[in-house]
Structure 1
Amino acid sequence: MTQKSAPQVTAPTHLFTVQLSATRRGARLARLLTERQLDDWGVFVEGAVQVVAELAANAVLHGRVPGRDFRLGLRLFADRTLRIEVTDARGDRVPCVHDPVTADAESGRGLLIVAAYAERWGVDEAAAGCKVVWAELAPGHGPPGLRRSRVTSGS
């Protein structure tokens, strides 16, 4: 008789979630809380604040339903990968990267920024018709010219 080992599930070493108003103020607070939380954990993650800013702004601009909030989640794993999750109320509006924007366009670059910093990103369905847009930032991954240790321990 042989025993099968259970699949390993990697649990985050640090977890932070917060529900915020789906307003410009809520999006700004998501960015500020990310900076504070990563500082409290003693880590620096290249691009994390920019990715949160873009995903939170998209949740407010494209995922807003009057009277409903959005949720920010941060998960830091032992291998120093940071998973950012933003849940909004519009599961019917799935984000995608469009053709490159013109140089003078005022919008349309947000998900390109997310894709540049993230090792991988995507969209999952959530309960109550919501969606979760997530991005995983890993050490050593990022835009050309910025590739250095993406997650470093603070001193």
Structure 2
Amino acid sequence: MHKQCFSLITLLLVLLISCQPSNKGLSQEEKLETLKRTITEFNEAFKNCNVGKLESLITHDYLHTNGNNNAIEKSDWLNYLKKRKRQIDNGELVVQEYKLLEPNIAMYQNSAILSGKILTKGISQGETFTREIRITNLWVEENGHWKRAGFHDTRIH
């Protein structure tokens, strides 16, 4: 009985591992394309404030820095997102546009630095706004998936 359970567990583990997507063995060009898709997915999730999706796309030790504030860790950033989600849900915040412009990606095997500009347009508490920020992100490959490990921005206007 124990031998059968062990065999079944081993088979399940082998199947689970073999079904996991992986970036191993991909060329740098293929890794870059995968990263670009992940960045697009991340930005769409941020625009719509999909907290669960965003949490899955950041590292355990994520560090987020806005130009005017001290750096915050993952849990603080997720709390900010939950507040932002409530503002979107109750109509206090309407994000009409959230775009990455001028992207520049430098690849370093299993990590990358993204720099660029974010343009955001919307309505906050009844007032229209347009904001531009210059950003730098650190992306790392974890278990075959790209995750954002760090963020920094500086407001342009």
Normalising by the residue count of structure 1, what TM-score does the alignment of the two structures yield?
0.29
Larger radius of gyration: 2
* Structure with the higher helix share, 1 or 2: 2
